[in-house]
Amino acid sequence: MSPRPKKIRRCEGRFCGRAFKPTGISLPDLKQIPLYRDELEALKLCDFEGMFQEQAGEKMGVSRGTVQRILTSARRKVAEALTTGAALVFEEERQ
């Protein structure tokens, strides 16, 4: 039995650059944490625009549960980057 095919996630936001990192340290010298487009979109919709997860899911074309999993991953990555001085490297989609 093969896994269900992944739903296409609608993401309208654009990356502002290639990475978000601490100043004064070059990117190759930092730990690099990938932040995927769907993670950035979920953060934007829920944490910046104030949407409920169900509303964000409708906008992204996924379930509320999927938005919750995406947000959990994104928030953990952002927290790690901010507290350890790592770089968030923007990636289009997961491999």
The answer, yes or no, to whether residue 11 has pLDDT greater than 70, is: no
Q: For the stretch 72-81, what's the b/e string if a residue is b when 16 or more beta carbons lie within 10 angstroms of its beta carbon?
A: eebeebbeeb
Percent of the chain whose predicted confidence (pLDDT) is above 90: 77
Is pTM beyond 0.85? Reply is no
Q: What is the pLDDT of the chain when averaged over all its residues?
A: 90
- Residue that the structure tokens 């269900």 belong to: 4
The answer to whether 44 touches 13, Cβ cutoff 8 Å, is: yes
Confidence of residue 1 (pLDDT cuts 50, 70, 90): low
Sign of the C-alpha dihedral, residues 84, 21, 82, 64? negative
CATH number assigned to the domain covering 37-91? 1.10.10
d(C-alpha 33, C-alpha 39), whole Å:
12
pLDDT at residue 60, as a whole number: 94
The answer, yes or no, to whether residue 44 has pLDDT greater than 70, is: yes
pLDDT at residue 12, as a whole number: 67
